[in-house]
């Protein structure tokens, strides 16, 4: 009998439910702060006299920092624990969102977005690792899909906030609202348990004889990821994430200005209300069920087949979306693109946690997911540059090609369905 989301939550222990809530809230709020930039991008371009190329460069800078932050916070999580690293990442991106609102020049905004990217990158792998190590094998994929689906809720919340706040108070106030996620860490400190798997490994390392005691990071070198038998899987997952992220960030960074710009400038002429409504629908009816469904699909047909199916459908839909003119067609096709094009990212944490051992899991997820963010950091710049030369509709064809390459990389990933973590 199929297990629904509410049954998954009921089957968990109170501690497991709290880890799920913490990771989900952290990821949702990560999306909230990260996407505020895209949602006020048209205003920023006007007030700070930025070209599409420069605006894309700042998006690239944030993604570059997220790759660094993923690896950095992965080391922190393997040393001091998953929970504290998760809290530190949330504080980082929250404070830096507030700082973005204080920027009076492109340079100041660039510094704030770079630092925000560090925390943004660190949240994903620390939260995913905490849930993967806390939940049982038969529920792991579903739990991680629930975590990943919270990105859509954060994106939708950002759209709901950015529209009216920017209209009445300006883009600075939108970034000021981004500091609110910091409050979540107050609850996490006293309510969220640390990963027992990490605690056990930490205790084993400390129990070594004097002179041989070492932390969990040193118990397994980072270079383990680049030696057999893990090296092939490390690069296969890294490249899969890279191609998929290039497509996603290239498309969704430029989607708000694409929809809001006048038709004469290559946009689709949506007003503030229309664009806000469309983005909320894309997130709640497209991204959210796409993320949430992946774990169930992966448990049904296997991880690799689920990856392949979602990537291929997204690759076919994007050219149709780029060619659409009707607002109704844009709504329907956009929802489907959001479903398949974002749902695949639930699988990265599932497969990554099942491939890599506990001693390097947080760093491995940080490298393969956020390292891919670093590689894909050129996406906003490339799509912005191509969009400036040929139009954004044409530039989106590059995103379709990215999903095709991601589909190709799925053939190099192992099938890990049903694997028990070490």
* 40 lies in some domain: yes
Q: Which pLDDT score, from 0 to 100, does residue 261 have?
A: 66
Per the domain annotation, does 5 fall within a domain? no
Q: Count the Cβ atoms, other than its own, within 10 Å of residue 83.
A: 23
Q: 190 pLDDT exceeds 50?
A: yes
Report if residue 203 sits inside a domain. Answer: no
Burial of 105 (0-12, 13-18, 19+ CB in 10 A): exposed
Domain that holds residue 96: 12-187+226-412
Q: What is the pLDDT of residues 268-313, one digit of tens each?
A: 667 667 777 777 888 888 988 998 888 889 989 999 999 999 999 9
SS3 call for 358: helix
DSSP string of 86-148, one letter each residue:
HHHHHHHHHHHHHHHTT--SHHHHHHHHHHHHHHHHHHHHHHHHHHHHHS-HHHHHHHHHHHH
Distance CA 348, CA 238 (A): 9
**HSE-up (13 A, CA, CB side) for residue 64:** 14
Output the pLDDT for position 258. Answer: 76
The per-residue pLDDT for range 164-180, each reduced to its tens digit, is 898 889 999 999 998 98
pTM listed for this prediction: 0.73
In which band, very low, low, confident or very high, does the pLDDT at 1 lie, cut at 50, 70 and 90? very low
- The answer to whether residues 216 and 283 touch, using CB atoms and an 8 Å cutoff, is no
Can you give the CATH number for the domain in which 360 is found?
Answer: 1.20.1250.20
Let me know if residue 357 belongs to a domain.
yes
Q: What is the pLDDT of residues 334-343, one digit of tens each?
A: 899 999 998 9
Residue 205 domain-assigned (yes or no): no
Is 90 domain-assigned?
yes
| Structure-token pair, residue 6 | 């509410």
User: Is 196 a member of any domain?
Assistant: no
Residue-wise pLDDT tens digits, 245-271: 999 988 887 877 777 766 666 666 676
Tell me the C-alpha distance between 214 and 347, whole Å.
32
Structural domains in the chain (count): 1
Q: Which of 335, 420, 358, 356 is nearest to 141 (CA)?
A: 420
**Is 199 among the domain residues?**
no
């Amino acid at each position: 009998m199929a297990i629904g989301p509410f049954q998954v939550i009921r089957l968990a222990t109170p501690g497991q439910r709290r880890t799920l809530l913490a990771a989900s809230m952290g990821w949702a709020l990560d999306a909230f702060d990260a996407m505020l930039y895209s949602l006020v991008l048209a205003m920023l371009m006007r007030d700070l006299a930025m070209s599409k190329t420069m605006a894309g460069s700042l998006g690239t800078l944030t993604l570059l920092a997220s790759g660094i932050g993923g690896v950095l916070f992965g080391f922190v999580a393997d040393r001091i624990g998953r929970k504290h690293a998760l809290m530190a990442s949330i504080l980082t991106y929250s404070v830096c969102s507030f700082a973005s609102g204080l920027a009076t020049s492109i340079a100041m905004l660039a510094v704030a977005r770079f630092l925000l990217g560090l925390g943004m990158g660190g949240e994903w792998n620390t939260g995913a690792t905490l849930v993967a190590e806390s939940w049982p094998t038969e529920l792991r994929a579903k739990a991680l899909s629930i975590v990943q689906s919270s990105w859509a809720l954060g994106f939708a919340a950002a759209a709901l906030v950015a529209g009216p706040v920017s209209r009445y108070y300006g883009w600075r106030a939108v970034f000021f609202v981004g500091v609110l996620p910091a409050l979540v860490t107050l609850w996490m400190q006293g309510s969220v348990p640390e990963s027992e798997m990490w605690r056990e490994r930490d205790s084993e390392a400390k129990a070594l004889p004097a002179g041989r005691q070492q932390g969990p990071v040193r118990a397994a070198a980072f270079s383990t990821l680049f030696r057999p038998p893990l090296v092939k899987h490390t690069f296969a997952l890294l490249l899969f994430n890279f191609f998929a992220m290039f497509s996603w960030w290239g498309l969704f960074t430029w989607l708000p200005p694409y929809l809001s710009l006048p038709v004469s400038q290559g946009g689709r002429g949506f007003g503030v209300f229309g664009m806000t409504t469309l983005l909320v629908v894309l997130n709640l009816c497209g991204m959210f069920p796409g993320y949430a469904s992946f774990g169930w699909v992966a448990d049904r047909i296997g991880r690799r087949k689920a990856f392949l199916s979602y990537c291929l459908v997204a690759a076919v839909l994007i050219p149709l979306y780029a060619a659409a003119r009707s607002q109704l067609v844009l709504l329907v096709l956009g929802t489907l693109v959001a479903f398949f094009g974002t749902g695949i990212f639930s699988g990265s944490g599932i497969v990554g946690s099942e491939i890599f051992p506990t001693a390097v899991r947080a760093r491995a997820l940080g490298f393969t997911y956020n390292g891919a963010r670093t590689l894909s950091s050129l996406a906003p710049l490339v799509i912005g540059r191509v969009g400036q030369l040929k139009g954004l509709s044409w530039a989106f064809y590059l995103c379709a090609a990215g999903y095709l390459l991601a589909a190709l990389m799925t053939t190099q990933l192992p099938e890990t369905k049903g694997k028990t973590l070490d």
